[in-house]
C-alpha cells in the first residue's frame, strides 16, 4: 500500500483517491472543502475523479473480490479490529478535523469517532458468529443448511452530516461479509473520508478491496449506473435515493436507502415538562439539527402545551452558537452557505404563512460563518415547514386536543423515520409504539440516537424496504445472498 499524503487537523490537506491500493491524483477539476465556521479557511484540496479513475476503481474492486471473499470472515474481522485500534489512536486529530470540515462541536465529533471505533469492533466480532442455519431433512443421511456468499462489488454513497459514523455503519459489515467496495463520500467532508480510508488501508485491507473516489453527486450517479456494481447502500435525500433505485433495481442489484425524516415528538400532560423539553431541545438542536432523525415537530396534548412552552423557551434562549472548536459553543454552524440560505428561507416562509417565533438564543451567533439561530416556531399543521424537511435547528410546536389527534398529526407526512412520545402512562406508550408510522419509536427520550447493534431504518419515504442498517444480522441480510444446501454423504466407488 503506497502512503497517502497525511490529512492533518491543523493544515490544508492535499487529498488523493484510493484506487487499487494506490493513492492517486484526480483527473478532473480542482475542488476544496472549507471550514463552515470560518469559510475562508480551506481544510482540503483535491482534484475530482473522472471517468478513467472510476473505471480503474471498479475494475480494482472486481479484481480483488474473489481473494477477499476466500479469506474468510475471521481474517476479515481481524482487519476491522486493527482498524478500530488505529482509529482510536487518532481519535483526537480525526475529531478536530471533523469539526473543522463539517462544523459540529468538538464534543459531538469526539462522540462520533468513539462510536465509529465501537462500530468497527462490533462488526469485527461478528466474524466469529454463526454463518448459517441448519434444518432437519426427511432423508436420514442428509443435512440442510443455509450458506451466505457476498454480493461482490458494493457502492457506498455517504452523506456529510455523519462523515465517519455512517461510512463505518456501511463499510464495516460490507467488508466483513466479503464484499469489495467503491466509496463515494459527500463533497463537503472529503478530508474525514480520506482519514478513514487511510485507517482501513493501513489495517491490512488487500489492494483493491476498498476504493475511495472524491467528487460531486454526478460521480455517484455514474458509479451506481455501472453494471459491475452488485449492491448500493446510500444515505441522503429522497430525490437522489429514488434516482438510485430506478437505476439499480432493473438490473437485479440490491439497494439499501436511508432517506429523509420529518420526525414528531408527542408530549402528554402526565410527564415532567422540564425533562421532556431537555430531550426535545437535544433532539432538535444537537448537531445543528442536521440529522435525518432530528425532532422537527413537537405535538403537545391538551394542557401539556402551556406548561411545555416556557421550558422550551428557557432552554433555547440559553443555547450558545459558535465555532465548534470553541469551548462554550453548544451549536455549531450549518455545513455550507447553501444550507444556511435554505434554512433561513424556510423559517421566513413559515412566518409569512402565519407561524410565530417562540424562542431563539439570547446571544446572537457570529456573523462570519454559516451560522443560523436555533428557532422554536408556533404554528399549525398546514405550514410548509410541517411537511417538508428543513435540515437545521428549527422545530415547530403544535397543539393537539387528544392523543388520537396527536397520532394523526404525527403520521401526517410522507416520512416515517423516528417518533418520540413523552408519557408515564403505559397504555399511551404501547399505543404509540403500535400506531406511530416510524421505524424507530423513542419513549421519554430524544428522537435522535440509536444503538449500533439494533436495526436502524424508517418507514414510508424514509427508507427503501430493504434489510435495516447497523445490526449485524440485518446487515448480513443485505450484503450477502443466502443459499440453501442439501448435503448427503456419497457412496465410495
The closest alpha carbon to 334, from 48, 461, 264, 345, belongs to 345
CA distance 227 to 210: 18
Annotated active-site residue 424? The verdict is no
- DSSP symbol at 344: H
Phi, psi for residue 80 in degrees, rounded to 5: -65, -40
One of 108, 188, 258, 389 is an active-site residue; which one? 258
CA angle 254, 257, 262 (to 5 degrees): 160
Alpha-helix runs per DSSP H in 203-290: 217-225, 238-248, 273-285
Annotated active-site residue 373? The verdict is no
The closest alpha carbon to 170, from 231, 114, 111, belongs to 231
One of 101, 102, 112, 292 is an active-site residue; which one? 292
CB 16 within 8 A of CB 4: yes
- DSSP symbol at 275: H
CA angle 355, 358, 361 (to 5 degrees): 130
Question: Cα dihedral angle (292, 297, 301, 305), rounded to 10 degrees?
Answer: 130
Phi, psi for residue 47 in degrees, rounded to 5: -105, 135
Residues labelled as active-site residues: 258, 292
Amino acid at each position: 500500500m503506497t502512503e497517502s499524503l497525511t490529512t492533518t487537523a491543523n493544515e490544508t490537506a492535499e487529498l488523493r483517491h484510493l484506487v487499487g491500493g494506490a493513492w492517486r491524483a484526480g483527473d478532473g477539476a480542482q475542488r476544496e472543502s472549507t471550514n463552515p465556521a470560518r469559510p475562508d479557511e480551506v481544510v482540503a484540496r483535491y482534484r475530482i475523479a473522472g471517468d478513467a479513475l472510476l473505471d480503474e476503481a471498479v475494475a480494482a474492486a472486481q479484481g480483488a473480490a474473489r481473494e477477499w471473499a476466500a479469506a474468510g470472515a475471521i481474517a476479515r474481522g481481524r482487519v476491522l479490529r486493527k482498524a478500530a485500534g488505529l482509529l482510536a489512536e487518532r481519535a483526537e486529530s480525526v475529531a478536530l478535523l471533523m469539526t473543522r470540515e463539517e462544523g459540529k462541536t468538538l464534543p459531538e465529533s469526539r462522540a462520533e469517532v468513539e462510536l465509529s471505533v465501537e462500530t468497527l469492533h462490533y462488526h469485527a466480532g461478528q466474524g466469529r458468529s454463526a454463518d448459517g442455519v441448519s434444518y432437519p431433512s426427511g432423508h436420514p443421511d442428509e443435512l440442510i443448511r443455509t450458506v451466505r456468499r457476498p454480493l461482490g462489488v458494493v457502492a457506498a454513497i455517504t452523506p456529510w452530516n455523519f462523515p465517519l459514523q455512517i461510512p463505518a455503519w456501511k463499510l464495516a459489515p460490507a467488508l466483513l461479509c466479503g464484499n469489495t467496495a467503491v466509496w463515494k463520500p459527500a463533497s463537503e467532508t472529503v478530508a474525514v473520508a480520506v482519514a478513514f480510508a487511510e485507517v482501513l488501508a493501513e489495517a491490512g485491507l488487500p489492494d483493491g478491496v476498498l476504493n475511495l473516489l472524491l467528487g460531486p453527486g454526478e460521480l455517484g450517479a455514474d458509479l451506481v449506473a455501472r453494471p459491475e456494481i452488485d449492491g448500493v447502500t446510500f444515505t441522503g435525500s429522497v430525490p437522489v435515493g429514488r434516482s438510485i433505485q430506478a437505476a439499480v433495481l432493473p438490473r437485479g442489484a440490491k439497494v439499501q436507502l436511508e432517506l429523509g425524516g420529518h420526525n414528531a415528538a408527542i408530549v402528554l400532560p402526565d410527564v415532567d415538562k422540564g425533562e421532556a423539553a431537555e430531550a426535545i431541545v437535544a433532539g432538535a438542536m444537537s448537531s445543528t439539527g442536521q440529522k435525518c432523525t432530528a425532532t422537527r415537530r413537537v405535538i403537545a396534548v391538551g394542557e401539556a402545551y402551556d406548561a411545555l412552552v416556557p421550558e422550551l423557551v428557557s432552554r433555547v434562549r440559553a443555547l450558545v452558537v459558535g465555532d465548534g472548536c470553541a469551548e462554550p459553543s453548544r451549536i455549531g454552524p450549518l455545513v455550507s452557505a447553501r444550507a444556511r440560505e435554505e434554512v433561513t428561507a424556510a423559517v421566513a416562509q413559515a412566518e409569512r404563512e402565519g407561524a410565530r417565533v417562540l424562542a431563539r438564543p439570547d446571544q446572537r451567533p457570529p456573523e462570519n460563518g454559516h451560522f443560523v439561530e436555533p428557532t422554536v416556531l408556533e404554528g399549525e399543521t398546514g405550514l410548509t415547514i410541517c411537511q417538508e424537511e428543513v435540515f437545521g435547528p428549527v422545530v415547530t410546536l403544535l397543539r393537539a386536543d387528544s392523543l388520537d389527534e396527536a397520532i394523526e398529526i404525527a403520521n401526517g407526512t410522507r416520512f416515517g423515520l423516528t417518533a418520540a412520545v413523552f408519557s408515564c402512562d403505559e397504555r399511551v406508550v404501547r399505543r404509540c409504539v403500535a400506531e406511530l408510522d416510524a421505524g424507530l419509536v423513542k419513549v421519554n427520550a430524544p428522537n435522535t440516537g440509536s444503538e449500533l447493534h439494533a436495526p436502524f431504518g424508517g418507514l414510508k419515504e424514509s427508507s427503501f424496504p430493504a434489510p435495516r442498517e447497523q445490526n449485524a444480522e440485518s446487515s448480513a441480510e443485505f450484503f450477502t445472498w443466502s443459499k440453501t444446501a442439501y448435503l448427503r454423504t456419497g457412496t465410495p466407488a
